[in-house]
Structure 1
Amino acid sequence: MFVKVCGVSDKETIDKAIELGYDAVGVVLYPPSKRYVPDAEAVKLAEHAKGRVSTFVVSVLYTEVMKVAGYFDYVQVFENAPVPNLVYATAEKPEGSKFQYLLYDASRGSGKFGEFPAWLTEYRERLIVAGGLNSVNVAKVINDLRPFGVDVSSGVEKGGKKDYDMMKDFIESVRDNDEF
């Protein structure tokens, strides 16, 4: 199962994610976010991760990431932007299918765990589930939805920073439950 840690803001967290076996890291370029990283720093993080782990540049609109999108493997935005490496983030059933992955976030970025609609199973092969996931509830999500992947952010934070032990517990919980 594909596992992404989002809201990465420093090289040390990228190194921890790689050590623990995460498949991807997300760097947030949405200015109101407490995990916001400016363009120049985002590029440095993408370059640090290059070839070692997949990278996602994350924001609400494509215009907020377009200057640095070329440094990242995937563009994750809350609109169906015309890019080939689009990860379409939404809490609604998407119109059309011009995206590489669908990231369903029931919390709409709030980090609160929510319900999952039945239509998600239509996208199972390219579905990444996010929104309030942690090492305790991720097993149920995996068993109920059987998505392509899962995405965690606040569920592995302590005091506003990514916590190594929480990151470890999360990925171990995923790995213990991803056989189906």
Structure 2
Amino acid sequence: MTQIKLCGLTREEDIAAVNRWRPDYIGFVFANSRRQVTPEQARHLKAGLDPHIKSVGVFTNALVQSIIELCETGVIEVVQLHGNETEEYIRALKQKTTCFVIKAIRVQSTEQILQAQKLSCDLLLLDTYQKGLYGGSGKTFDRALIPTLHKPFFLAGGLESGNIAQVVEECHPFGVDVSSGAETDGLKDETKIKRIIEAIRSIG
């Protein structure tokens, strides 16, 4: 079953919606973004989250210790690195936490993805490259660039209910990561969340 991650939750209404429709993961963005939340906000939202749904913290070039604190206090269970983090950074992080680590790659070439799978992260996240942005562009990339990978990966970039099932059947990702495709006017939309999850679940 393809895993579903809904990223960029910021409100109690978002938590209520995901508790009803049950994606596998949700994301709290701690990086600079219009969806950014503070550790205190994330802690409050996590307290209301169904325990069967894993919480992911999204970071861009953050201090390792700040990530560790969120892991140790249970605010997040998975770390997603969306910046220029190196293999040394990932290794240092994994030495200090048992949380799974996802490394996001802003795809520009097949060779770039093949190199990325050598990193010691647990999963990759393949997203759209857009100059000046670390993610959340809502735009697609050429998925023909994705090679056969032995490391599991999430797929992001321009996914929404109308295209997500076809993309999964073409690319066979471990999971999909949706943010702007589940929003209306910049806020999470429960109807869109429902449609995305139903589209994925329908393909088994």
For Structure 1 versus Structure 2, the TM-score category normalised by the shorter chain is 0.7 to 0.9
2:128 and 2:140 in contact (8 A); partners too = yes
1:56 and 1:73 in contact (8 A); partners too = yes
Name the CA shift for 1:126/1:6 in 2 (closer, same or farther; >3 Å).
Answer: same
Distance 2:152 2:49 in 1: 23
Counterpart for residue 140 of structure 2: 113
Distance 1:95 1:153 in 2: 24
Distance 1:45 1:135 in 2: 25
Bigger mean CA deviation after superposition, 51-60 or 147-156: 51-60
1:18 and 1:52 in contact (8 A); partners too = no
Distance 2:51 2:181 in 1: 26
Counterpart for residue 77 of structure 2: 73
Counterpart for residue 109 of structure 2: none
User: How many percent identity over aligned positions?
Assistant: 29
Q: Which 4+ residue blocks in structure 1 deviate beyond 6 angstroms?
A: none
Tell me by how many angstroms 1:74 deviates: 0.2
Distance 1:25 1:165 in 2: 16
2:22 and 2:53 in contact (8 A); partners too = no
CA RMSD of aligned residues (A): 1.9
Counterpart for residue 2 of structure 1: 3
Counterpart for residue 47 of structure 2: 47
Bigger mean CA deviation after superposition, 131-140 or 75-84: 75-84
3-state SS, counterpart of residue 23 of structure 2:
coil
Structure (1 or 2) with the larger CA radius of gyration: 2
* Pairs aligned (count): 175
Structure 1 unaligned regions, length at least 5: none
1:29 and 1:59 in contact (8 A); partners too = yes
Letter in 1 for 2:21: L
